A and B are shown apart, each in its own frame.
Chain A
Amino acid sequence: MLIAEIQQRVGALGRNSGIANFAEAAPGIERSEAPTIERGGGSLYAPREKIYPKRAHGTFRTIKWIVMAVTLSIYYLVPWIRWDRGPYMPDQAVLIDFPSRRFFFFFLEIWPQEFYYVTGLLVLAALGLFLVTSIAGRMWCGYACPQTVWTDLMIAVERFFQGDRNQRIRLDKNPWSFETLWRKGATHFTWLLIAVATGGAWVFYFADAPTLARQLVALEAPMVAYVFIGIFTATTYLLGGIAREQVCIYMCPWPRIQGAMVDRESLLISYRAWRGEPRGPHKAGQSWEGRGDCIDCRQCVAVCPTGIDIRNGSQLECIQCALCIDACNEIMDKIGRPRSLISYDTVRHMEAAGQDMAPINFLRPRVLIYATAMAVVGIIMLTALMLRPDLEVNVLQDRNPIYVKLSDGGLRNGYTVKILNKAYEPRDFHIAVAGLPGATLSVVGQEKQANPVINVPADELQQAKVYVALDKGTAAALTGPTTEFSFVVTSADGASSAEHKTLFQGPER
């Protein structure tokens, strides 16, 4: 659809693609064939027009290879990093432990009720995305998004087996042959291998990686592991190998949001029309007077993974991967014109048509607001994580009945005291009552012990049923039906202590 559209536009502007003349103009530059699929006239549904991205060479391609290597390495290797947490705890650095409901990240650990840390992280990620987008457009889409990384990998595989753009177009045009079959077969087989590896790596985040790896090989792993490998194999193969740019254009909501994030000072991949136009084919030796630098070689279109023409300006489909910059720079070098006909540039510079090249203002309100918000959220998160206690106490008061009258006229209240031992070793705790003079405390199961001890396993919650009683005299001295007091839970070694306020209930008076 897109290429047809572009062809339409180009045609309406009365230009030819100039491909025929191009080979003469710049020897050694590969000729690009435009796909010939037409839009199904009048139909409500458009067939997909296959895109054959050409291999680009240059700075941004190199950066993208590096980013791909780094992100894929992180994805595949992180579950294998070990992190010693002592004998009672898993030693996997990053582990989402569903059975015991814990999330481990190196030196951090969160319990399910601390999910707000993840919320904070998501807020940080969103703000980071906003910040980067307002400074330099869709950097995320262009370099780091898994869809981009895996699609790039899948295209590299496709190129390895089927050749570059023109070979691939020819392969598709030619009738089916043994060559087509093995080249395509090998491509899809490799895609599936990558997809299986992707799914395989995913499940390692949720269980001890070496153990699970052995189980997977021995076919002894839990069913859910195979199911998720299957799901991720299917999605990786379909989204990365088959759907590719369709995901970015039709499925992802982010491109729609991005439009609101950029402004006139944002660095976007831009075709400098003021330098390039009027475009047209150029023969070696011809003068550059009275014409633009764009020789209409369509290399920027050929390398584009979403199949658009960047010369039509910023558009929804553009993931800003910067490959067109590399492609154009290569051509500019060959024809001896200055680089950066396509470049990271701002709308303001575009509109000034090269006249007002005042430096980009990075200290714009939106940049400052996003940066400040990030700093605030980051500091709050960091402080909260640093101050995260290794002991927490929750108290549930019995509500049915709220108090019990005793034979001597005293009162008794029941409580469930929950002790959250967030340390990585089992600990013993003592419970005491503070702020309720004369109270006697008893722990169910340890009624006869003078100083009850509650043992809590490493990184676990343990609850104790506790009764607090007042004799008649003390109960009569209470000033109202409710009296505030605290449970103080102290570890046996005295290192940690936590207090929880609660109420002692009595009759109305």
Chain B
Amino acid sequence: MASKKRQIETVETTGHEWDGIHELNKPLPKWWLYVFYATILWSIGYWLLMPAWPLVSSYTKGLLGYSQRERVAEQIEAGKAAKAVYREKIAASDLAAINEDPELLRFALAGGEAAFGDNCAPCHGRGAQGAFGYPNLRDDSWLWGGTLEDVQLTIQHGIRADDPKTRSPGAGMPAFGKTGVLAEPQINDVAEYVLSLSGRAEDAEAAKRGAQTFASTCAPCHGAEGKGNLAIGAPDLTDELWLYAGGKAGIAASISNGRAGMMPAWAHRLDPETIKELAIYVHSLGGGQ
């Protein structure tokens, strides 16, 4: 049957037949096979020259000594070299000048964002939105000032940090309740008064009583009108933003227990250019003054 077919079709078959279907003999070209062999030879050459085979505790290094880790190190060095031009400019310029030069600003913002993620985000949050006790850096309320220089100073020396130039070293808001300076009812009255500063007082009588205590006990730091004092990090009590809980119970807790937030100093951990970039970045988050 097969031979008869073959004769009719005059095309050579392999002799294989399935249900009357004959397989024509269409052999693969030799060169195709040779290309396959060439790829095998290539792989052997590759094994010899490049890192290839895993060993128990190491791997074959290859004759060319290629290493991806070294390449990464080289690329990081190249990146640093490429950045050096800008970093020199940043080192030489004052903050305002950097902020007004669009090109330098873009570089500083990119660097600042990366440094912020590495160093600041654990406390202030990835988006700098802050948390209970950790200031939101995006709003327009600042404990220690929101100008470029203020922000730079805060980053350099921290707040109540282990740094000779740090702000408010060893000080903070006293625990008026715990130390017995104020009694429970007084604390309640002062809290009511503080609520009234942002128009939320519930008990006008209590607020009135609290006003006197406030004037004698709180005003030295927070000001007679409760507007706060940037020089000593006393918060403005009249606005709608609260670092700690802003309800009556929260305010009472602050008066009773005191508050003394701490931020580390970064001057001995980060180089001055990075701190400049961070200051520019934080200033750019919306609250900069």
Interface contact A47-B102, CB-CB below 8 Å: no
For residue B91, CB closer than 8 A to chain A, the reply is no
For residue A43, CB closer than 8 A to chain B, the reply is yes
Contacts of A472 in B (CB 8 A): 240
Interface centre among B7, B105, B125, B286 (most CB of A within 10 A): B286
Q: Find the A residue at minimum CB distance from B12.
A: A8
Contacts of A467 in B (CB 8 A): 286
Interface contact A46-B27, CB-CB below 8 Å: yes
Interface contact A455-B7, CB-CB below 8 Å: no
Interface contact A12-B7, CB-CB below 8 Å: yes
Contacts of A47 in B (CB 8 A): 29-30
What CA separation (Å) do A444 and B102 show in the bound complex? Answer: 10
CB under 8 Å from chain A, chain B span 19-68:
27-33
Interface contact A408-B240, CB-CB below 8 Å: yes
What CA separation (Å) do A478 and B138 show in the bound complex? Answer: 21
Interface contact B239-A398, CB-CB below 8 Å: no
Of the stretches A66-74, A399-407, A497-505, the one at the interface is A399-407
Tell me the count of chain A residues lying within 8 A, CB to CB, of chain B: 37
Interface contact B31-A246, CB-CB below 8 Å: yes
Q: Find the A residue at minimum CB distance from B31.
A: A48
CB under 8 Å from chain A, chain B span 94-110:
99-100, 102, 105, 109
What CA separation (Å) do A376 and B100 show in the bound complex? Answer: 50
Interface contact B284-A444, CB-CB below 8 Å: yes
Interface contact B139-A406, CB-CB below 8 Å: yes
Contacts of A409 in B (CB 8 A): 240
What CA separation (Å) do A399 and B138 show in the bound complex? Answer: 13
Q: Give the interface residue-count category, chain B.
A: 20 to 34
For residue A484, CB closer than 8 A to chain B, the reply is no
Contacts of A404 in B (CB 8 A): 129, 136, 138-139, 286-287
The residue that B30 contacts in the complex, of A9, A48, A243, A446, with Cβ under 8 A, is A48
Smallest distance from the beta carbon of A74 to chain B beta carbons, Å?
31
What CA separation (Å) do A505 and B126 show in the bound complex? Answer: 19
Q: Find the B residue at minimum CB distance from A11.
A: B10
* Given A401-B129, A404-B136; A45-B102 close (CB under 8 Å): no
What CA separation (Å) do A333 and B157 show in the bound complex? Answer: 101
Interface contact B27-A45, CB-CB below 8 Å: yes
For residue B241, CB closer than 8 A to chain A, the reply is yes
Smallest distance from the beta carbon of B103 to chain A beta carbons, Å?
10
Interface contact B129-A444, CB-CB below 8 Å: no
Interface contact A405-B7, CB-CB below 8 Å: no
Contacts of B136 in A (CB 8 A): 404
CB under 8 Å from chain A, chain B span 138-187:
138-141
What CA separation (Å) do A412 and B127 show in the bound complex? Answer: 14
Q: Find the A residue at minimum CB distance from B141.
A: A407
Q: Find the B residue at minimum CB distance from A445.
A: B105
What CA separation (Å) do A13 and B7 show in the bound complex? Answer: 9
Q: Find the B residue at minimum CB distance from A43.
A: B27
What CA separation (Å) do A39 and B288 show in the bound complex? Answer: 84
The residue that B127 contacts in the complex, of A398, A408, A455, with Cβ under 8 A, is A398
For residue A55, CB closer than 8 A to chain B, the reply is no
* Given A445-B100, A447-B288; A400-B139 close (CB under 8 Å): no
For residue B189, CB closer than 8 A to chain A, the reply is no
Contacts of B32 in A (CB 8 A): 45, 250
Interface contact B30-A45, CB-CB below 8 Å: yes
What CA separation (Å) do A8 and B12 show in the bound complex? Answer: 9
Contacts of A246 in B (CB 8 A): 29, 31
For residue A1, CB closer than 8 A to chain B, the reply is yes
What CA separation (Å) do A1 and B236 show in the bound complex? Answer: 93
Contacts of A307 in B (CB 8 A): none
Contacts of B11 in A (CB 8 A): 5, 8-9
What CA separation (Å) do A407 and B140 show in the bound complex? Answer: 6
Interface contact A405-B10, CB-CB below 8 Å: no
Contacts of A12 in B (CB 8 A): 7, 10
Contacts of B139 in A (CB 8 A): 404-407, 412
What CA separation (Å) do A8 and B32 show in the bound complex? Answer: 24
Interface contact A406-B140, CB-CB below 8 Å: yes
Contacts of B10 in A (CB 8 A): 8-9, 12-13
Q: Find the A residue at minimum CB distance from B127.
A: A400
What CA separation (Å) do A8 and B29 show in the bound complex? Answer: 19
What CA separation (Å) do A401 and B236 show in the bound complex? Answer: 23
Contacts of A414 in B (CB 8 A): 138, 285-286
What CA separation (Å) do A441 and B69 show in the bound complex? Answer: 46
Interface contact A1-B240, CB-CB below 8 Å: no
Smallest distance from the beta carbon of B31 to chain A beta carbons, Å?
6
What CA separation (Å) do A412 and B129 show in the bound complex? Answer: 12
What CA separation (Å) do A455 and B31 show in the bound complex? Answer: 59
* Given A400-B126, A405-B240, A405-B241; A444-B30 close (CB under 8 Å): no
Q: Find the A residue at minimum CB distance from B239.
A: A407
What CA separation (Å) do A89 and B287 show in the bound complex? Answer: 39
What CA separation (Å) do A217 and B174 show in the bound complex? Answer: 79
For residue A450, CB closer than 8 A to chain B, the reply is no
What CA separation (Å) do A400 and B141 show in the bound complex? Answer: 18
What CA separation (Å) do A406 and B102 show in the bound complex? Answer: 27
The residue that A407 contacts in the complex, of B29, B127, B241, with Cβ under 8 A, is B241
CB under 8 Å from chain A, chain B span 69-96:
none
What CA separation (Å) do A46 and B141 show in the bound complex? Answer: 83
For residue A477, CB closer than 8 A to chain B, the reply is no
CB under 8 Å from chain B, chain A span 381-408:
398-401, 404-408
* Given A409-B240, A465-B284; A45-B129 close (CB under 8 Å): no
Smallest distance from the beta carbon of B197 to chain A beta carbons, Å?
12
* Given A404-B286, A405-B241, A465-B284; A455-B102 close (CB under 8 Å): yes
Smallest distance from the beta carbon of A494 to chain B beta carbons, Å?
22
**Sample of 14 more A-B contacts, CB < 8 Å, known A12-B7, A405-B139:** A40-B27, A45-B27, A45-B28, A400-B129, A404-B129, A404-B287, A405-B240, A406-B139, A406-B240, A407-B236, A408-B239, A444-B284, A445-B99, A467-B286
Q: Top 6 A-B pairs ranked by shortest CB distance?
A: A400-B127, A407-B239, A401-B129, A46-B27, A12-B10, A9-B10
Interface residues of A (CB under 8 A from B): 1, 5, 8-9, 12-13, 39-40, 43-48, 243, 246, 250, 398-401, 404-409, 412, 414, 444-447, 455, 465, 467, 472
Interface residues of B (CB under 8 A from A): 7, 10-12, 27-33, 99-100, 102, 105, 109, 125-127, 129, 136, 138-141, 236, 239-241, 284-288
Would you give 20 A-B contacts (Cβ < 8 Å), ordered by A?
Answer: A1-B29, A8-B11, A9-B11, A44-B27, A46-B29, A48-B29, A398-B127, A400-B125, A401-B127, A404-B138, A405-B241, A406-B139, A407-B241, A408-B240, A409-B240, A414-B286, A445-B105, A455-B102, A465-B109, A472-B240
